[in-house]
């Protein structure tokens, strides 16, 4: 397990069987050095194919992801970019792999969910050099990315393939270092897509409403080289993609597991790890309800994250709603409460109309019909089955 954690630079679960808790351990146990060296011939062949493919490409592009952070290969990435003049993009998970003001940085590639100019550049490339990329749904724009293996070099801690050739036993680090030993032609670049430059935020009209767009524009001018942005899942993460990260590895987001409730606790770890950075936490009201209490830990350790809760009023109301629901279940059995819960349908439609001017469309009405029909079916079925003998069931 520990070896896997070190080898792949990923979290692992350690489960200790109860009867092993007091068993004597093995002091200074060293894991066997398995799989640590690359197969020299395989590495050489892979590098030769990579060199030929990159040199003959018309428009190569580098796609850098999280394993560049995890294996500490940022310097190698920058060196490769410098020597070859090949522009690069990052994924959401790899955001801030290097400072986002690099002149050859195009932005975040996330299929149809990202900027169109970046998408076109990457998808029209005849050689996408994918370095440490996790090909997952969220990371690649919820199934909208289109990366053709026939035009890719794909290397991670687990696998290396170039076009349709797979090279066994080549370590990610060795391949990355090997790339720097190759002879690449330095290319002259035409026009490349660039992120919109950061503007100083100006309040045009004091009366203009706060919008998500303006909030993120404002945050962009607030962020400095000593800010670490920690985003939770939802609007917080997707909005934060356009934030300009000044230094490397100063953006943290759960773009792999998409786990809600990440940002507030992660900010504690981030600031503990690097006390020079002040976390800017972006979190939705839902995720904040799960983890807002962690701010007590931040306060206890004297940390000073700036926390922005998106849609906090909704959070407050839904928190109160949940609380009242719990109170209700303490006072009466669920079967008694069920009819009252159904009245929510009427209340919500009425409130929706009065507050937002919403009239339920046919989808909403169809959904309501499904919910009511399911409830009636359950009622009918329970009556047919009769009371259960064992109430615990």
Positions that interact with ligand TPP (CB under 6 A): 232-236, 258-261, 284-287, 310
Q: Which is nearer to ligand TPP, 146 or 259 (CB)?
A: 259
Q: Which is nearer to ligand TPP, 98 or 309 (CB)?
A: 309
Q: Which is nearer to ligand TPP, 14 or 313 (CB)?
A: 313
Question: Cα separation of 71 and 57, whole Å?
Answer: 27
Tell the smallest beta-carbon distance from residue 9 to ligand TPP (Å).
Answer: 23
Q: Which is nearer to ligand TPP, 26 or 313 (CB)?
A: 313
Tell the smallest beta-carbon distance from residue 240 to ligand TPP (Å).
Answer: 11
**CB of 123 closer than 8 Å to CB of 77:** no
Q: Which is nearer to ligand TPP, 217 or 285 (CB)?
A: 285
- Report the first-to-last Cα separation within the chain, whole angstroms: 39
Q: What is the DSSP string of 232-246?
A: -TTHHHHHHTTS---
Q: Which is nearer to ligand TPP, 89 or 283 (CB)?
A: 283
Q: Which is nearer to ligand TPP, 133 or 260 (CB)?
A: 260
Tell the smallest beta-carbon distance from residue 256 to ligand TPP (Å).
Answer: 11
Q: What is the DSSP string of 65-101?
A: -HHHHHTT-HHHHHHHHHHH---EEE-STTTTSS-TT
Q: Which is nearer to ligand TPP, 253 or 261 (CB)?
A: 261
**Residue 181: Cβ-neighbour burial (10 angstroms; 0-12, 13-18, 19+):** exposed
- Virtual torsion, Cα 51, 57, 60, 62, nearest 10 deg: -20
13 Cβ partners below 8 Å, 6+ apart? Answer: 1
Q: How does DSSP classify residue 213?
A: H
Tell the smallest beta-carbon distance from residue 146 to ligand TPP (Å).
Answer: 25
Taking alpha carbons only, the member of 227, 233, 331 closest to residue 279 is 227
Tell the smallest beta-carbon distance from residue 241 to ligand TPP (Å).
Answer: 13
Helix (H, G, I), strand (E, B) or coil at 393: coil
CA distances from residue 322 to 266, 295, 319, 351 in whole angstroms, order as listed: 25, 21, 5, 18
Tell the smallest beta-carbon distance from residue 250 to ligand TPP (Å).
Answer: 22
Tell the smallest beta-carbon distance from residue 269 to ligand TPP (Å).
Answer: 17
Q: Which is nearer to ligand TPP, 279 or 284 (CB)?
A: 284
Q: Which is nearer to ligand TPP, 166 or 259 (CB)?
A: 259
Q: Which is nearer to ligand TPP, 98 or 237 (CB)?
A: 237
**Residue 368: Cβ-neighbour burial (10 angstroms; 0-12, 13-18, 19+):** middle
Strand duo 306-310 + 227-231: pairing: unpaired
Tell the smallest beta-carbon distance from residue 136 to ligand TPP (Å).
Answer: 13
How many CA atoms, within 13 angstroms, populate the side-chain half-sphere of residue 48? Answer: 6
16 Cβ partners below 8 Å, 6+ apart? Answer: none
**CB of 78 closer than 8 Å to CB of 72:** no
Tell the smallest beta-carbon distance from residue 258 to ligand TPP (Å).
Answer: 5
**CB of 280 closer than 8 Å to CB of 308:** yes
Tell the smallest beta-carbon distance from residue 255 to ligand TPP (Å).
Answer: 11
Tell the smallest beta-carbon distance from residue 183 to ligand TPP (Å).
Answer: 46
Report the residue closest to ligand TPP, judged by CB.
284
Question: Cα separation of 178 and 46, whole Å?
Answer: 10
């Amino acid at each position: 397990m520990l070896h896997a954690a070190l080898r792949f630079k990923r979290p692992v679960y350690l489960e200790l069987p109860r009867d092993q808790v007091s068993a004597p351990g093995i002091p200074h146990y060293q894991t066997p050095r398995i799989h640590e060296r690359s197969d020299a011939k395989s590495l050489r062949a892979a590098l030769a194919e990579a060199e030929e493919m990159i040199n003959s490409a018309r428009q190569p592009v580098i796609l850098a992801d999280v394993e560049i952070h995890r294996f500490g290969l940022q310097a190698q990435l920058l060196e490769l970019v410098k020597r070859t003049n090949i522009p690069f993009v990052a994924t959401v998970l790899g955001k801030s792999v290097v400072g986002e003001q690099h002149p050859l940085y195009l932005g975040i590639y996330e299929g149809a969910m990202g900027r169109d100019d970046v998408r076109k550049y990457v998808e029209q490339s005849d050689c996408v050099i994918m370095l440490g990329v996790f090909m997952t749904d969220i990371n690649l724009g919820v199934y909208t990315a289109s990366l053709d293996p026939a035009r890719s070099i794909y290397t991670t801690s687990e696998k290396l393939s170039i076009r349709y050739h797979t090279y066994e036993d080549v370590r990610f680090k060795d391949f990355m270092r090997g790339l720097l030993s190759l002879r690449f032609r330095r290319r002259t670049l035409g026009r490349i897509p660039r992120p919109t430059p950061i503007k100083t935020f100006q309040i045009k009209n004091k009366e203009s409403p706060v919008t998500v767009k303006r909030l993120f524009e404002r945050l962009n001018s607030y962020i400095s080289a000593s800010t670490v942005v920690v985003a939770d899942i939802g609007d917080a993460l997707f909005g934060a993609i356009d934030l300009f990260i000044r230094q490397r590895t100063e953006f943290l987001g759960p773009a792999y597991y998409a786990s809600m409730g990440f940002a507030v606790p992660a900010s504690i770890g981030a600031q503990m790890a690097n006390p020079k950075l002040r976390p800017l936490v972006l979190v939705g009201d839902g995720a904040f309800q799960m983890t807002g209490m962690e701010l007590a830990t931040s306060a206890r350790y004297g940390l000073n994250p700036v926390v922005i809760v998106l849609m906090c009023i909704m959070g407050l109301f839904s928190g109160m709603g949940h609380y009242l629901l719990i109170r209700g279940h303490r006072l009466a059995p669920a079967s008694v409460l069920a009819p009252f819960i159904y009245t929510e349908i009427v209340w919500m439609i009425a409130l929706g109309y009065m507050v937002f001017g919403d009239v339920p469309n046919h989808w909403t009405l169809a959904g309501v019909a499904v919910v009511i029909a399911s409830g009636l079916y359950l009622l009918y079925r329970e009556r047919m089955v009769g009371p259960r003998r064992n109430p615990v069931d």
